[in-house]
Amino acid sequence: MNKRTVFSMLNKAVTKYAKDPYLSVKGDQGWVRTSFSEAKIRSTQLAAAFLELGLEKESKVSILSEAKSDWIIAEFATLYAGGISVPLSIKLLPEEIPFRVNHSDASFFVISENTLEKVISQWDKYQNSSLRLIMLDKPSEKISKQCKQHGFNEMELLFVDDLYALGQEKTQDHREKLAQIEISTEEDQVVTISYTSGTTGNPKGIMLTHLNYYSNSHAAVSTFQIKEKISTLLILPTDHSFAHTVGIYTALVKGLSLHFVDARGGSINALKNIPKNLVEAESNFLLTVPALTSNFIEKFKDGIKAKGGLVEGIFNRGIEAAIKRNGNGFSKPGWAIQIGTYFNMLLAEKLIFRKLRLIFGPNIEFFVGGGALLDIKQQQFYKAIGIPIYQGYGLTEATPIISTNTPFNHKMGTSGKVLKGINCKICDESGKEVAQGKKGEIVIQGDNVMKGYYKNEVATSETIKNGWLYTGDLGYIDEDDFLVVVGREKALLISEDGEKYSPEEIEEAIVSSSDCIHQIMIYNDHQKYTTALINLNKNAIEEVIRKEGILTYEELNKHLKNEILLFSKQIEFKDKFPGKWIPSNFQIISEAFSEDNQMINSTLKMVRHKITQTYQNRLDLMYGSKAQNKALLENIKVLEDMVSLS
């Protein structure tokens, strides 16, 4: 039997899709494409250069760069040279990088012009005095300027084009060693060490093996029935475990064509280039996370609103009609509703929806959603406009896919069916499996389960018990065998009597039901009642003031309390959440939770302990004597600075 390794996947792709485009990056003259066969040739050339530079077996190669073809080649080259890849989040702050590089014992550090300053600004904090920096870009004035600014010797940089040339020259010298490394590689050998986002304490290095990637990629393809040779623009960074597996490795199984966002000039340029690149890539599908799809919805609504009341009315009635027609995707309403909603849906489709879809390119069929919980309102919206989001669930420790909805079997509000080859059970706090429909911790077993945490046996033993991975996520299996994820066990609210509850579903319900509330963090730490921190959408607040004729900040604060409860009028959320966990008091925060203030992590999830620590005085204000009045006075101060009532 052939070994189930990354090498076998690439070899099969080279045989089956040799000249088909695998990697495409934007250059000065248009898209520069690398075929599957070219990808292998370039990977072995770069691997020969790595060997020439002294990379040894199981040496670590950190990669910190925006997504591009050479990022992928660098990972393959690391494996061909017998090393282990350490993909780092492009969104890390400079001071967060040294721990990961030091902890992983990296010998080489692959970076780009866009990440150079982050790295060399912390140069004195790297423990490996012989750490080699490899640039995935050509020499430039910007690189020279940054090196001079931080007192770094530019001559120490190795440029990837020079290494390709070196590898081409030395490939023959290392041919036998390269072949031996590939042949001797075992299924349980580590491919990557991927670090957690570190929301509590130091991040952990997740060791994923050849078998992990092989099994998860093939199971995803089998479950999703992905077509051959279709295209996608990778909006998510390649260090993201979701994009890493579904992008890089699933592409090998089905000959997918990957396009990378044009990030030349930095992250601001990358954001500007996404709309243009979406059309150019002619994507059949896109990988996304809730924060991205939420931003798209806001832009859609703002654009529709700008076209006037007539268009906005057609759009809103069309969305409402399509949502009724679609049901939950698994079971649809009867013919009476189908007939009654047909005209409004058809009118919106003809005049608006099909134009909205073109924003994502002419061939777009669907999104695949991962990352944090995706609320059902978003799923309903995208299904209504004709680009369904097939929500999945996973975590990096599971490589990462555990379950997914598919075009053939989906149910909105769930995370889909568990992938083939993965055993899943729901357990109570004692580790005992609970009955179907009961909530508990999601526990899985399969070839996709990580090898463990690098240099952390204690954390490994706490997470993997008797071959079962305890995810730390709460959920249940519904009556139709779909997995429903309700939140993180460690993000639990805890009431005065010790009862626990996950806040994430309620938070998603509140934000998705209110245009005024931009973000919310619900809080209860052994208290009699639940509270919340919120920040607001200024434009929506100003619209409310105008429409409702609000004259005082006390009135506006009262309106916001009603906004928090709007979700309870939605049929999807009616009577879904126990009253004790719904916020009865709130504080308005003027600054949004973001990556810049470290209250959102690199996977776009709230860093709750950081938010709590920062706003502990505001949280404390909502408990004790005269809590309602004290909270109101603080809220009025924030509102006075935000909007005018005159």
Question: Per-residue pLDDT tens for 593-606?
Answer: 988 888 987 777 88
pLDDT > 70 fraction of the chain, expressed in percent and rounded: 98
List, for residues 168-186, the tens digit of each pLDDT value.
999 999 999 999 999 999 9
Token pair of 520 as six digits:
């919310």
User: Is 335 among the domain residues?
Assistant: no
Cα torsion at 38, 39, 40, 42 (round to 10°)? 80
Tell me which of 221, 254, 271 is where a domain ends. 271
Which of 283, 210, 290 lies closest to 252 in space, CA to CA? 210
Q: What is the pLDDT of residue 372?
A: 63
Q: What is the pLDDT of residue 371?
A: 66
Domain enclosing residue 174, as ranges = 8-271
User: Is 110 among the domain residues?
Assistant: yes
Q: Which residues pair with 533 in a beta bridge?
A: 521, 587
Tell me which of 271, 298, 324 is where a domain ends. 271
Q: Is 546 exposed, middle or buried (0-12, 13-18, 19+ CB in 10 A)?
A: exposed
**Domain count within the chain:** 2
List, for residues 95-130, the tens digit of each pLDDT value.
989 999 999 999 999 999 999 999 999 999 999 999
DSSP string, 480-533: TS-EEEEEEGGG-EEETTS-EE--HHHHHHHHHH-SSEEEEEEE-EEESS-EEE
User: Is 224 among the domain residues?
Assistant: yes
User: Is 412 among the domain residues?
Assistant: no
CA distance 483 to 488: 15
Q: What is the pLDDT of residue 115?
A: 97
Asked if pLDDT for residue 131 goes beyond 60, the answer is: yes
Range list of H helices, 84-159: 97-103, 116-120, 141-149
List, for residues 377-422, the tens digit of each pLDDT value.
899 999 999 999 999 999 999 999 999 999 999 999 999 999 999 9
Region at 455 (left for phi over 0; alpha for psi -120 to 50; beta for the rest): left
User: Is 26 among the domain residues?
Assistant: yes
Q: What is the pLDDT of residue 591?
A: 93
| Whole-number average pLDDT of the chain | 93
Sheet holding 417-418, edge to edge: 285-288, 366-369, 389-394, 401-404, 417-418
Which pairing describes strands 389-394 and 401-404: parallel, antiparallel, or unpaired? Answer: antiparallel
DSSP string, 177-215: HHHHHHHH--TTSEEEEEE---SSSS--EEEEEHHHHHH
Average pLDDT over residues 313-321: 97
CATH assignment at residue 526: 3.30.300.30
User: Is 24 among the domain residues?
Assistant: yes
Kind plus residue range of the DSSP H or E element containing 33: strand 30-35
User: Is 373 among the domain residues?
Assistant: no
Choose between 202 and 643: higher pLDDT.
Answer: 643
List Cα–Cα distances, 290 to 341, 387, 481, in angstroms.
Answer: 28, 15, 23
Tell me which of 219, 253, 271 is where a domain ends. 271
* Number of neighbours of residue 538 by Cβ within 10 angstroms: 12
User: Is 308 among the domain residues?
Assistant: no
CATH assignment at residue 200: 3.40.50.12780
pLDDT > 90 fraction of the chain, expressed in percent and rounded: 80
List Cα–Cα distances, 53 to 66, 81, 134, 161, 520, in angstroms.
Answer: 24, 11, 11, 15, 50
